[in-house]
A and B are shown apart, each in its own frame.
Chain A
């Protein structure tokens, strides 16, 4: 945290932006200036393009960006995760090579953790990295990899020792995606979109200097990445809005956003689109059906109460108190809301709920809700895992007895096809 007062930070940020912000600059050129000055990533350490500001101080700088309408450094979710992990665990070589191009947006990254055989049980990864000569050779398969189709680098969790217990035999690497041994194949979901990829490794190579942290430290490094993933859950929403202003920098940023958001365009639908319910009920006349009214009311009560519960948790946090249970139940609540919303949309839509695309209401938006909501109960920790977390961490109930963590990983039962 910097010693500067909030007022000084605001004044300096404002003065620098007023002097330097220029809409006619190219995106990478402008971001280069931001990086050199430290105003692009002010919460980063001073040695690496930042100013060592706290999160609260960083928000003051953000406000000044918003005030003047200046474009920021590239900060999509995955880039943040890569940068945070490299800053915490990377070598100077990693920082030199990768951080700057993360901020300019020239490099895109992806996260190679989940596998077909290990979803909730991430530490059960079986993608292997074996040392051959001076190189790591990777074989196996990852899945649910967003952005892999335009990423240059990946954050890879791979098994380097099969005789140690499952959490101890994992190592963490940075892998070049653009090489012959890596094949990226889109993964089509039940709603028809392909927002994710499967990534196949066949003797893919990693130079030894791209190992992150010590051999066998993979799980703890991955935990850093995942911690930032949970913290940054709001980040996605923040950068979804492209500016409609004119100027080269804006135009290039809008292209970047459109490109990166493409995989997420169905995300509002998976949450159930509670916002559409009442208007749809009125349009269809189903607002006069007493049973539909009851179900709408149940949905609204749940959705509003969920919103207020999240606000209570946030208010507690802002006052420096523990968030309380409200902070942990949000994910599970969203699943319940999404399910009830899909149920209500079906009641409202009637026979048309059998149709999709341009034959269905709102050009397929409603149909998309009905085949997308199950994702809410799975992505980012299934409902079942959420219930374990709530009962064990909030309610302090006993942890699940485990048989898989102390024996050599080689002996742990696993999926036949993995």
Chain B
């Protein structure tokens, strides 16, 4: 599993790739990236009801398909390849995984089935304007109020936060720091006192929002004051998912650059016949293949609950971030002037590479995490 996919998994991949090639051609990506909501309702319905994709890693007892992070990794790799515009990472990966890790049995039975069915779309609001990716950055407060809690503060960089039906919010008890006093809450997307603003993102294919909470009534999710561990687990699993998404995009870019280099003629030869280009492509292949190996290995570790999973998450995230960005830079370069134009599709993936490089922690952050997790 860590080094090869089963026949069923390979078939699943082929099937997904065909579906996504059909539903997410770059004309669609370009159309959706100009919209505020950033996705197509009909495609979301199809991938939810016909393919059951939001249910992939949700256990069957909560309306899911009962697969694991190995299969989820395949879905994300293919979505990254197709640059699918959909609230999948926000809802099916981040919010669903947080609920799986933190919620009580009863809460899971209530919250997960509609998420798995794609009927509800949720977002996970954890990072704030300080841009810190771990629990230490949480300042938004939760204070007891009547039957429930009241949230005050600001969340930012929330994927699809402006369109989600349900927001899962990480908040802290006033006066606590670090991992202490953290709890998760659920808030309806249209809750009173919640103002949501779509952020202008470099990568318009993945929408982000700033959410301001002013005395917003919220319901506790999971155990009070004990959200630190399930959140850390969620972010590691999400980093692995993102790494798989990134290697899908990187491979697509690498292939597109290679294809172009064989078509483009200068000095009477295909530019791909110049040794300087051939050597560049050999290096690109090496970078992408190494990043793929790490992403697959980490996904298998997440699926098996390997104790080294947190370190592997950082390893895979840092590796994939560098490989994706380097591939994107080389793909623009291979295309030359045309690669710098809006009409050429390369910039769509280039921008996803840039936002994914930073999202959930940049490569330097994850390299440091790797060193800490390996106790260096």
Q: Interface of A with B (CB < 8 Å)?
A: 278, 281-282, 287, 290, 293-294, 296-298, 300-302, 304-306, 308-309, 311-312, 314-316, 319, 325-326, 329, 332-333, 336, 384, 386-388, 390-392, 394-395, 397-398, 400-401
Add 6 more A-B contacts to A293-B367, A302-B290, A387-B282 (CB < 8 A).
Answer: A297-B367, A329-B282, A329-B286, A397-B258, A397-B278, A400-B275
Q: For residue B368, which residues in chain A have a CB less than 8 angstroms away from its CB? A: 290, 293-294, 297
**Contacts A/B (CB < 8 Å), 19 sampled:** A278-B374, A294-B368, A296-B376, A297-B370, A300-B315, A301-B318, A306-B290, A309-B289, A309-B290, A312-B3, A315-B4, A326-B289, A332-B286, A386-B282, A387-B283, A388-B282, A390-B281, A397-B278, A398-B272
- With beta carbons under 8 angstroms apart, the residue of B4, B272, B277, B315 that contacts A316 is B4
B75 interfacial by beta-carbon distance below 8 Å: no
Q: List chain A residues, Cβ under 8 A from B286.
A: 329, 332-333, 336, 390
Q: Which of B297-321 contact A (CB under 8 A)?
A: 297, 315, 318-319
Chain A residues, CB < 8 A from B2:
308, 311
* A319 and B279 contact, CB distance less than 8 A: no
B residues in contact with A394, CB < 8 Å? 285
Chain A contacts for B285, CB-based, 8 A: 325, 329, 390, 394-395
Chain B 260-297 near chain A by CB (<8 Å), digits 1 or 0 = 01100000011011010111011101100111111011
Contact A301 B376 (CB under 8 A): no
1/0 per position for B1-43, CB-CB distance to A under 8 A?
Answer: 0111000000000000000000000000000000000000000
Tell me, in angstroms, the Cα distance from A315 to B3 when the chains sit together: 6
Q: Is B136 an interface residue (CB 8 A)?
A: no
**Min C-beta distance of A176 to chain B, whole Å:** 42
Say if the beta carbon of B371 comes within 8 Å of chain A: yes
- In the bound complex, residues from chain B placing their C-beta under 8 Å from that of A332 are 282, 286
Please measure, in the bound complex, the distance between the C-alpha atom of A326 and the C-alpha atom of B293, giving whole angstroms: 9
Which residue on chain A has the smallest CB distance to residue B368?
A293
Partner of A388, one of B269, B278, B283, B297: B278
Contact A387 B294 (CB under 8 A): no
CB within 8 Å for A397 and B293 given contacts A278-B376, A281-B376, A287-B376: no
**Does B104 touch A at the CB level, under 8 Å?**
no
Whether A392 contacts B367 in the complex (CB less than 8 A), given A304-B294, A308-B297, comes out as no
Given A308-B2, A391-B279, are A301 and B370 also a contact pair (CB < 8 Å)?
A: yes
Asked if B273 contacts A397 (CB within 8 A), the reply is yes
Chain B binding surface SS class: helix
Kindly identify which residue among B273, B293, B371 contacts A309, using a CB–CB cutoff of 8 Å: B293
B-chain residues with CB within 8 Å of residue A391 when the two chains form the complex: 278-279, 281-282
Interface centre among A287, A384, A395 (most CB of B within 10 A): A395
In the complex, what residues of A have CB within 8 A of residue B262's CB?
A: 397
- The answer to whether B293 and A312 touch across the interface, beta carbons within 8 angstroms, is yes
Nearest CB of chain B from residue A307's CB, rounded to whole Å: 8
State the CA gap A387–B276 with chains docked (Å): 10
- The 6 A-B pairs of least Cβ separation, nearest first, read A297-B367, A391-B278, A305-B290, A387-B282, A308-B293, A398-B273
Q: Is B364 at the interface (CB under 8 A from chain A)?
A: yes
Taken together as a complex, chains A and B put the C-alpha atoms of A250 and B374 apart, in Å, by 41
**Cα A395 to Cα B258 with chains together (Å):** 8
Q: Which of chain B's residues has its CB closest to A297's CB?
A: B367
With A300-B315, A384-B279, A388-B278 in contact, is A305–B258 under 8 Å at CB? no
- Using known A-B contacts A278-B376, A315-B4, determine if residue A395 contacts B281 with beta carbons closer than 8 Å: yes
- Nearest chain A CB to B148's CB is how many angstroms away? 43
Flag if A301 contacts B319 (CB, 8 Å): yes
**How long is the Cα–Cα vector from A343 to B294 in the complex, in angstroms?**
23
CA distance A311 to B293 in the complex (A): 9
* Min C-beta distance of B183 to chain A, whole Å: 32
Given contacts A278-B374, A287-B376, A305-B290, contact A387 B3 (CB under 8 A): no
Min CB distance, B271 to chain A, in Å? 10
Query: Once the chains are docked, how many angstroms separate the CA of A386 from the CA of B318?
Result: 26
Pairwise interchain contact A304-B258, C-beta atoms closer than 8 A = no
Measured in the bound complex, the distance between the Cα atoms of B281 and A387 in whole Å is 8
C-alpha spacing A316/B270, complex, angstroms: 33
Contacts of A401 on B, CB cut-off 8 Å?
273
Complex Cα gap A381–B290 (Å): 21
Q: A312-B3, A397-B272 are in contact. Are A301 and B315 (CB under 8 A)?
A: yes
Question: Are A329 and B281 closer than 8 Å at their CB atoms?
Answer: no
Contact across chains for B273 and A297 when beta carbons are under 8 A apart: no
| Residues of chain B contacted by A308 (CB below 8 angstroms) | 2-3, 293-294, 296-297
Of the candidates B282, B292, B319, B367, which one forms a contact with A294 in the assembled complex, judged by CB atoms under 8 Å apart?
Answer: B367
Most buried by A among B286, B296, B368: B286
Neighbouring A residues of B283 by C-beta, 8 Å: 387
Q: Is A297 within 8 A of B4, CB to CB?
A: no
A318 to chain B, nearest CB (A): 9
Contacts of B282 in A (CB 8 A): 329, 332, 386-388, 390-391, 395
B window 148-189: CB within 8 A of A: none
Which residues on the A side are within 8 Å of B297 (C-beta)?
304, 308
Are A301 and B367 in contact, CB atoms less than 8 angstroms apart? yes
With the chains together, A304 CA to B269 CA distance in Å?
A: 39
* Interfacial chain B residues near A326, Cβ < 8 Å: 289, 293
In whole angstroms, how far apart are the Cα atoms of A318 and B297 in the complex? Answer: 18
**Cβ contacts B315-334/A at 8 Å (1 or 0 each):** 10011000000000000000
Which chain A residue has the least Cβ–Cβ distance from B314?
A297
Q: Tell which of A312, A316, A401 has the most Cβ of chain B within 10 Å.
A: A312
Interface readout for B98-124 with A: 1 if CB under 8 Å, 0 if not?
000000000000000000000000000
**In the bound complex, CA of A312 to CA of B283 (Å):** 18
**A316 to B5 Cα, complex, angstroms:** 9
Measured CB to CB, the closest approach of chain B to A321, in angstroms, equals 8
Q: B330-376: which have CB < 8 Å to A?
A: 364, 367-368, 370-371, 374, 376
CA–CA, A294 to B365, complex, Å? 9
**Interface pair A325/B289, CB less than 8 Å apart:** yes
Report the minimal beta-carbon distance from B51 to chain A, rounded to whole angstroms: 26
A178 to B247, CA, bound (A): 57
Inter-chain CA distance A254–B231, complex, in Å, is 56
Given contacts A297-B367, A297-B370, contact A329 B315 (CB under 8 A): no
CB-defined contacts of B374 to chain A, threshold 8 Å: 278, 300
CB distance from B314 to the nearest CB of A (A): 8
Complex alpha-carbon distance, A278 and B373, angstroms: 13
Query: B355 CB to closest chain A CB, in angstroms?
Result: 21
Kindly list chain B residues whose C-beta atoms are within 8 Å of the C-beta of A384: 279
Complex: chain B residue closest to A310, CB-CB: B293
CB proximity of A291 to chain B, nearest CB, Å: 10
A38–B273 CA distance with the chains assembled, in angstroms: 51
A312-B279 contact in complex given A293-B371, A398-B272, C-beta closer than 8 Å: no
Query: By the criterion CB–CB under 8 Å, are A294 and B4 in contact?
Result: no
Q: Which residue of B lies closest to A303 (CB)?
A: B290
Cα-based distance from A312 to B316 in the complex (angstroms): 16
Closest to A319 in B: B4
Give the residues in chain A near B279, CB-CB below 8 Å.
Answer: 384, 387-388, 391
Contacts of A300 in B (CB 8 A): 315, 370, 374
- Asked if B278 and A387 sit within 8 Å, CB to CB, the answer is yes
